[in-house]
Amino acid sequence: MRFIKLAILSFIFLFLLVTVISLFVPSNVRISRATDINATKQVVMSFLADPLRWKEWYPGGDSLDILYIEGNPRGLIIDSVFHGIEVTSVTDSVVTATDVGLGVRQTMETGWKVLSGDNENNVTVQWYMDFKLRWYPWEKFKSLFFENIYGAHLEQGLANLKAVSEGRRSSFN
């Protein structure tokens, strides 16, 4: 009986300790990548704002289905459990999208900013992902690995976007 009490108290203490430590990890996490593209802002925005054109540059997008909402193309379906990414707003230089569907566990917003460069044929594109985490310790500790999990995806997507915007062929992964 003493062993069971000790085990239960130890588990509770350890859980509280891990929870307190996780409170020092931020609840809002942003990872981003940027690249310079030798194309006009309008050309780059045409690839970003139109989900039908995402198949040309989005990593793995050539094999994904288009997400239609009320008959309009709004994003991509990522997996068969209806987890997708939907465009939520488009301005003259920013496209914003969010995770949608049944498999969404945490709030994630992704977006692309197109910043004018030295001349009109040169722009900088920033692709960012914002995560809003709950207080759960496992979410907070998982966020420490987001850079490794999503960084290569962002880099590949920007390389593909650069290639298609500049009129070159791209190898899709």
Q: State pLDDT tens for residues 137-160.
A: 888 888 888 888 889 999 999 999
Please check whether residue 144 lies inside any domain of the structure: yes
Mean pLDDT across the stretch 6-35? 88
Beta strands in the chain (DSSP E): 28-37, 65-69, 72-79, 83-90, 94-101, 107-116, 123-132
> What pLDDT shows up at residue 64?
86
Percent of the residues in the chain that have a pLDDT greater than 90, as a whole number: 38
* pLDDT tens for each residue of 70-98: 888 888 888 766 678 889 999 999 999 98
Give the residue from 75, 166, 76, 80 showing the smallest Cα distance to 122. 166
Higher pLDDT, 100 or 36: 36
For residues 57 and 13, give the distance between their C-alpha atoms in angstroms, rounded to a whole number.
Answer: 49
What is the DSSP track for 59-108? TTGGGSEEEEETTEEEEEEEETTTEEEEEEEE-SSEEEEEEEETT--SEE
Q: What is the mean pLDDT of residues 24-32?
A: 87
Which pLDDT does position 162 carry in this prediction? 93
Q: Is the residue at 16 inside a domain? A: no
Give the pLDDT band of residue 173 (cuts 50, 70, 90).
Answer: very low
Q: Which CATH number covers residue 83? A: 3.30.530.20
Residue 170 falls inside a structural domain:
no
Range of the domain at 54: 27-165
pLDDT (mean) for 156-168: 90
d(CA 7, CA 11): 6
Alpha carbon distances (Å) from 117 to 37, 159, 167, 172: 9, 18, 18, 26
pLDDT confidence of residue 22: 77
107 within some domain: yes
Distance in angstroms (rounded) separating the CA atoms of residues 74 and 95: 12
pLDDT for the residue numbered 149: 87
Classify residue 105: in a domain, yes or no: yes
Task: For 30-49, write each residue's pLDDT tens digit.
Answer: 999 999 999 999 999 999 99
> Does 33 reside within a domain?
yes
Question: What pLDDT, on the 0 to 100 scale, is given for residue 18?
Answer: 83
